[in-house]
Structure 1
Amino acid sequence: MAEPLLSVRDLVKTFAGRRGRTGRPGAPVRAVDGVSFDLGAGETLGLVGESGCGKSTTGRMIVRLLDPTSGTVTFDGTEIGGLSQARLRPHRRHLQMVFQDPYSSLNPRQTVARIISEPLLVQGAGAEEARQRAGELMELVGLIPEHLDRYPHEFSGGQAQRIGIARSLATSPKLVIADEPVSALDVSVQAQVVNLMEQLQQELGLAYVFIAHDLSVVKRVCDRVAVMYLGRIVEIGDKAQVYGNPAHPYTRALLSAVPLPDPAAERARERIVLLGDPPSPADPPAGCGFHPRCPKAQQRCRTERPLLEVVGTGGRQAACHFPEVQGVS
């Protein structure tokens, strides 16, 4: 079996609590709490969950925009989580990120040529070589190379996100972390950008970690899906398993909210409504973090934290004392 391109083990990120009026620091916030997964070359893993569950923080730690509090990130055989910035630089060309809001992630004072070519310049490429590559990338993502000297505000939202994608491809990466790459776009434009990302993956052999809250988009683009809640992965497995027979009650609740194309099926199905809001990561509940909102919670759930374990067949894992999988009680 081939070694994974990316291997994340027991990743933790704790932020200092905000200081109150007395000046005393608040309780620390454990935004990511022991996340582990593997990703193969050319594969797409969807990372989904409600806002604040830690999925974006996980993505930022993988590319080292944030340093992990603990845990390891092994990329292409090298543990990069603890590398200095100087030693990390050679690996950055193969590990890039696309951000949610294209306008806030593009420097409004720089031309598109400069924005796209900047990663190459950082890696030591010459100005002429970098500009030529920027033109090639503009064409690759469906934009006009002659517009290289324009500024971000001269492009639509979908075009600006294509520029962000082009920038991420400048150094020919092996892995791209896509953090909500279409959530800020109109629905029709979302489909175009998703089509582009799928096309680029096929042409360039890219691997993606696709962070999103839209489960219909994730179902389309991902090979496997990891569901996060309160900083932890509660279910991870093949897309067909997770969508067809979810094991964790939280996954079932999320999927019950995804609209169905058949109106009759939409009216007939049962919606699972979760009561209350997710607990604060600064004050997580004992036992299973989901138990205050879980319709199946029992006494064991309130006192014992479930481990992420294989349930059923096919290697799918769930962190639940009472997973709802055929053949598992």
Structure 2
Amino acid sequence: MKTEPLLSVRNLTTTFPGRRRAAPIRAVDGVGFDIAAGETLGLVGESGCGKSTTGRTIVRLLEPSAGSVVYDGRDIAHLSQRELKPLRKDLQMVFQDPHSSLNPRQTVARIISDPLLVHGSSASEARARAAELMDLVGLIPEHLDRYPHEFSGGQAQRIGIARALATGPRLVVADEPVSALDVSVQAQIVNLMERLQRELGLAYLFIAHDLSVVKRVCDRVAVMYLGRIVEIGDRTSVYEAPAHPYTQALLSAVPLPDPAAERTRERITLHGDPPSPASPPPGCPFHPRCPKAQSICHTDPPPLRTTTPDTPHQAACHFPETP
């Protein structure tokens, strides 16, 4: 029997008003996907495609303009802040820049304890829990009374993860959690997140632009372009048999460890810049840059559909590459 997903997003849209009577900006345009309990879904794409806005909208740091966000069977997209408060402990976020996301005027103990205090824990209980979390993420509990500037970038990100775990969440939105860190530190944080997922049963929405990291940590991958998901499927099928031309171009830019293979492989170069979300092109949003575009692509938006029968791999393309 198929179980219901922990998170189900349908037709999610987030629009920002334009400046000086300009057209509104549709940063997220009809996005939909599911995340099962204990699963990691990677959300990838170029800068400005709407990845971070999607993550922030799901946890209601931004307000959705339309669509539904069903968490554990309940639509939370349009709940009031009062109705949403009890659910916030289940939905947490890890931010891209650890130092800018930590209050420089608060000690680590206060940073980690605040979510617990908001949800009714006593000061002594919150501090004891903060010490446990410091140990859980590989830091010394004795450093609870230090301030964020006294830690390196990797240590600060561990503190951000500890804060996110304080309330015992079931779903964590990780917004570029390793992009601001050195490569060696990235590996440490990735290993930490994988260990915590195994131990705590967490589900992740892992937002990133580094496709090598996404391939390492994610069970499924969704590719975004201009606010829309253009391809989604399990990790193996997306990486080994990408169906959408945009996904193919992204993967062709990932360096290969074998120098000989790197020199001989075909590199797909996309010309031009992504269109503005304030004035998206008609038809397929990718057609101005697509090497396979034909007349139908200029007029008819392609739906997200399976590339081959009986597979969960989907692509929004009139002429997808099939295995």
Same fold at TM > 0.5: yes
For 1:222, the aligned partner's letter is C
Specify the alignment match of 1:278 in structure 2.
274
Asked if 1:255 corresponds to 2:251, the answer is yes
Name the CA distance, whole Å, in 2 between partners of 1:315 and 1:128.
Answer: 48
Determine which of 219, 224, 231 is the counterpart of 1:228: 224
Specify the alignment match of 1:76 in structure 2.
72
Specify the alignment match of 2:86 in structure 1.
90
Specify the alignment match of 1:295 in structure 2.
291
Asked if 1:45 corresponds to 2:46, the answer is no
Specify the alignment match of 1:319 in structure 2.
316
Name the CA distance, whole Å, in 1 between partners of 2:311 and 2:160.
Answer: 36
1:201-227 per-position Cα deviation (integer Å, ceiling 9, x unaligned): 000000000000000000000000000
Once superposed, what is the RMSD of the aligned Cα atoms? 0.5
Name the CA distance, whole Å, in 1 between partners of 2:119 and 2:28.
Answer: 31
- Worse-matched range after superposition: 312-321 or 205-214: 312-321
Specify the alignment match of 1:14 in structure 2.
15
* SS state at 2:145 partner: coil
Question: How far is 1:314 from its partner?
Answer: 2.1
Question: How far is 1:311 from its partner?
Answer: 1.1
Runs of 4 or more above 4 Å deviation: none
Specify the alignment match of 1:126 in structure 2.
122
Question: How far is 1:5 from its partner?
Answer: 0.1
TM-score (ref. length: structure 2): 0.99
Q: Matched residues, percent identical? A: 77
Name the CA distance, whole Å, in 1 between partners of 2:26 and 2:90.
Answer: 29
For 1:213, the aligned partner's letter is H
Specify the alignment match of 2:103 in structure 1.
107
Question: How far is 1:86 from its partner?
Answer: 0.7
Name the CA distance, whole Å, in 2 between partners of 1:114 and 1:314.
Answer: 48
* SS state at 1:164 partner: helix
TM-score (ref. length: structure 1): 0.97
What are the ranges of 5 or more consecutive residues in structure 2 without an aligned counterpart? none
Name the CA distance, whole Å, in 2 between partners of 1:122 and 1:309.
Answer: 43
For 2:32, the aligned partner's letter is S
What are the ranges of 5 or more consecutive residues in structure 1 without an aligned counterpart? 20-24
Name the CA distance, whole Å, in 2 between partners of 1:186 and 1:163.
Answer: 17
Name the CA distance, whole Å, in 2 between partners of 1:213 and 1:105.
Answer: 20
* SS state at 2:204 partner: strand
* SS state at 1:64 partner: coil
1:247-283 per-position Cα deviation (integer Å, ceiling 9, x unaligned): 0000000000000010011111000000011000001
